[in-house]
Amino acid sequence: MAAMSGMTIGKLAAASGVSVETVRFYQRRGLLAEPERRGSGYREYSEADRSRLDFIRRARRLGFTLGEISDLIGPVQAGDIARAAQARLAAVNEQIAELTRQRCRLRQLVHLCEHGDGAQCAALLLASREG
């Protein structure tokens, strides 16, 4: 791949598969630096900026929050990353457990509504909304 130093924000965004507004959003959140304007009058982004943007996108796909990503940017040790990943894994496991419980309740609702009477169906739906 050819070097892409001196990229405009549009080229940086396109190279990383995001919108210009996403780049600006990450800049406002302090995750991505806003470079100085060059002689051309445009801000020019480097390969390092693209690498950081790609890191942010990969971390987001793994479910890390912007705050967690902010903690991971900069000088971090492998242990810091492992702890953050472990915490994220625990959160994902809890989400899976909750989704499993929700799936079970929905299966019960479907079964009751298909094989029971309308009042039981409505009662179970109301009970599931409250709890």
State the Cα–Cα distance between residues 65 and 105, nearest whole angstrom.
29
For 60-98, write each residue's pLDDT tens digit.
Answer: 999 999 999 998 887 778 888 899 999 999 999 999 999
For 19-55, write each residue's pLDDT tens digit.
Answer: 999 999 999 999 999 888 887 788 899 999 999 999 9
Q: Would the pLDDT of 1 be above 60?
A: no
Q: Would the pLDDT of 17 be above 90?
A: yes
Q: What is the pLDDT of residue 65?
A: 92
Kindly indicate the confidence band of residue 3, based on its pLDDT and cuts at 50, 70 and 90: very low
Provide the whole-model pTM: 0.70
Q: Would the pLDDT of 4 be above 50?
A: no
Taking the CA of residue 22 as centre, how many other CA atoms within 13 Å lie in the half-sphere pointing to its CB? 17
* CATH tag, 1-74: 1.10.1660.10
Q: What is the pLDDT of residue 75?
A: 79
The pLDDT of 104-124, averaged and rounded, is 83
